[in-house]
Every structure is written in C-alpha cells, then in structure tokens.
Amino acid sequence: MSDKPRILVTRRHLAEIETRLQSAYEIVLNDDDHIMSADEIIAAADGVQALFICVTEPLNAETIAALPDSVEAILTLSVGTDHIDLAAAEIRGLAVLTTPGAVTAATAEIGMLLMLGAARRAHESSQYLRAGNWDLWTPTQFVGVEITGKPLGIFGMGRIGRTVAQRARGFDMAVHYRNRNRLAPDLEEGAVYFNDLEGFLGASAFLMLCAPSTPETKGFINADTIAQLPDGAIIVNIARGDLVEDDALIAALESGKVAAAGLDVFNGEPANVDRRYFDLPNVFMVPHIGSAARDARTGMGMMLLDGFEALRAGEAVSNRVV
C-alpha cells in the first residue's frame, strides 16, 4: 500500500494536472470521463482522503453523509459552490476548497468577448457568412454599436467585475457599478458607485452581470429592471444563469428594448437551456466557457492541490470555504 494520499478524481483534466496527480498521489481516476452518480462516488471514495470534483458532480447532504470516514476534503474545480451542500460538509468536518482568483482573467476576457460580439452582431454576421449568403456589401449591412467611450454598468464588483472594469477602460468605457458595499477608492480606480438601483440601471447602456448567485441577486434581470434600462441596452451575463428571468429577457430581446445579449451562463444548463434563445439572432452565446483557457484551468487544478497539501500540513489554506 502506498503512503501517498489517495484522491478520487471524478473527471479527466488537462495533462499538467493529471501528471501532478499521478506523481504525488495515489489516484482513483474516472478513466472514461462519464458523469459519476452519487452511488458511484460513494463507492469509489472508500479509502480516499479527498474528492477532486467538478460542478458536474453535485454533492447534496445525503451524499456527503454517506461518504466514507476516510474522506477529509472536497476539492472542487470551480469558484462557485452551488453544487455542494456546505452545511453538510461542515457537519461532517470536511474541508471544501475552491479556485478563487484562478479564473478571474479568463472570465473577464469572455465578458469582453460577449460584449463585443453582442454589440457588433457577431452571431448574425458569422451565420450569414457561413451560410454562403455574402455576395454583396452594403453600407447598412450588420451595423452594430461601438463600445468605445460608452457607459458600462457592472453589477457585482468583485475580482471579476474589477478586472472587467480594467479591460473596459482600454476601450475608454465609462465604468460605474453596483455592489453590496462601496469599494475603497484604490479598488474603484475611478469607477462610479451607484447606491440607487434606478440610477445605476438608467446609466447602463451596457450592463454586465458579475455578481454571485444569492437570494438577493437571483432574478435581478426581470421585467421591472429591464424597463429601467436605456432603450437598446446590451446585457452580458458571465455570472450565473439564475440572475436572469428568461421570459423577461427574451421578451425584451424580441421587442428591441434590449438590443442584444451576450450570454455565457444559463438557467437549466447544460441540457435544459431555454431554446428560445437559439432562435434569436441578437443573442451571442457560448456554453459556459468563462474559465476554459489553458492557463486558467491549469491554475485551478494547481490551486486545489496546493491547498490540499497545505491542509494536510496543518497550514492556513486561503482557498478554503469550509
């Protein structure tokens, strides 16, 4: 029997992460990368010290309670913990480690991509070209909106929101934000804080959602908040799907009240995304790829393993949430 700690790895990862896992640990690997059921995870976790999971493996209270006594930690390749019952983990005495910071730059890049793609009608024009329809140029063809110099409202000014603001300043955008609390001036970097929601929305020709999903933020985009936006506003969501009420956003996209949307996250993802979005030419969307960059994904895995090693050494773990 090896003296190395044992880790159950529920999904396949980039080579850099798997190489470190194989060299430093005894691993139980899900070779064919199927989505493991709760019963499979419980059975495979016998004798392991940690679970290395993704958002595809929800761990509810019942599953956590049934985990073998050997399990000490849950390492999740995500910033969010919606898929883990944190209270149950705390009751069991399990440490839960996440990946804050590792995804910041990559997710902010996707936010800028979506904002540009939505504003400049990237989906429509790309589909038109791929369909072989481009046989004539006209001065009015696929005319979009420049983002340069325009006002950008950021809802949620954490790490990702602040990084989006930095990138947006490269386009001379005028950044304002709404947050639970006003930031210190050095973190604001000139961004204007709005305490009142109406004023924030009214100033947001571009609106980017960067806030976590909480009882207070769920359904933030609804008929009432959309009505307070300028006509022809553009909405980008790189936060969580449940910040948006789909019926309200789709109606606004169809009417033109919202000119376009850039979406990386959805209610019901991945299998039950509202299919009405697929038929809207003014929606530029990608399948939750905010952290899907090699640097980010490698950094996420390394952060989890660094944290686990610190945990076992009795050291402080900066990315521990439980």
Same domain flag for 155 and 301: no
304 within some domain: yes
Task: List the structure tokens of 200.
Answer: 């924030």
Confidence (pLDDT) at 239: 97
Confidence (pLDDT) at 1: 56
Same domain flag for 182 and 111: yes
- What is the Cα–Cα distance from 257 to 225, expressed in whole angstroms? 12
Q: Is 83 a catalytic residue?
A: no
Phi–psi pair at 61, nearest 5 degrees: -60, -40
Which residue in 269, 276, 309, 312 is the catalytic one? 269
Residue 206: strand, helix, or coil: strand
Which residue in 123, 176, 288, 297 is the catalytic one? 288
Confidence (pLDDT) at 3: 86
Q: Any idea what the CATH number is for the domain that residue 48 is in? A: 3.40.50.720
CA atoms within 13 A on the CB side of 29: 12
Domain of residue 162: give its range: 104-285
Report DSSP state, residue 145. Answer: -
190 within some domain: yes
Same domain flag for 112 and 188: yes
Q: Is 16 a catalytic residue?
A: no
Same domain flag for 144 and 227: yes
Task: List the structure tokens of 116.
Answer: 């540009």
Q: Is 146 a catalytic residue?
A: no
Quick check: 202 and 224 in contact, CB under 8 A?
no
Same domain flag for 32 and 135: no
318 within some domain: no
Q: What is the pLDDT along the chain (322 residues), one digit of tens a residue?
A: 578 999 999 999 999 999 999 999 999 999 999 999 999 999 999 999 999 999 999 999 999 999 999 999 999 999 999 999 999 999 999 999 999 999 999 999 999 999 999 999 999 999 999 999 999 999 999 999 999 999 999 999 999 999 999 999 999 999 999 999 999 999 999 999 999 999 999 999 999 999 999 999 999 999 999 999 999 999 999 999 999 999 999 999 999 999 999 999 999 999 999 999 999 999 999 999 999 999 999 999 999 999 999 999 999 999 999 9
Handedness of CA 111, 170, 252, 203 (dihedral sign): positive
Rounded to two decimals, the pTM is: 0.93
Determine if the peptide bond prior to 5 is cis (ω within 30°): no
Which residue in 120, 162, 240, 297 is the catalytic one? 240
231 within some domain: yes
Same domain flag for 199 and 271: yes
Type and span of the H or E element at 230: none
Same domain flag for 158 and 198: yes
Q: How many domains does the chain have?
A: 2
The contacts of residue 80 (CB under 8 Å, 6+ apart) are 55, 98, 212, 213, 240
Same domain flag for 36 and 131: no
Same domain flag for 303 and 192: no
Same domain flag for 25 and 122: no
110 within some domain: yes
List of long-range contacts for 303-310, beta carbons under 8 Å, 24+ apart: 303/97, 303/99, 303/101, 303/102, 304/52, 304/75, 304/76, 304/77, 304/97, 304/99, 305/17, 305/20, 305/21, 305/24, 305/75, 307/75, 307/97, 308/5, 308/7, 308/50, 308/73, 308/75, 308/97
pLDDT tens readout for residues 242-254: 999 999 999 999 9
Name the one residue in this structure whose structure tokens are 């204007």.
192
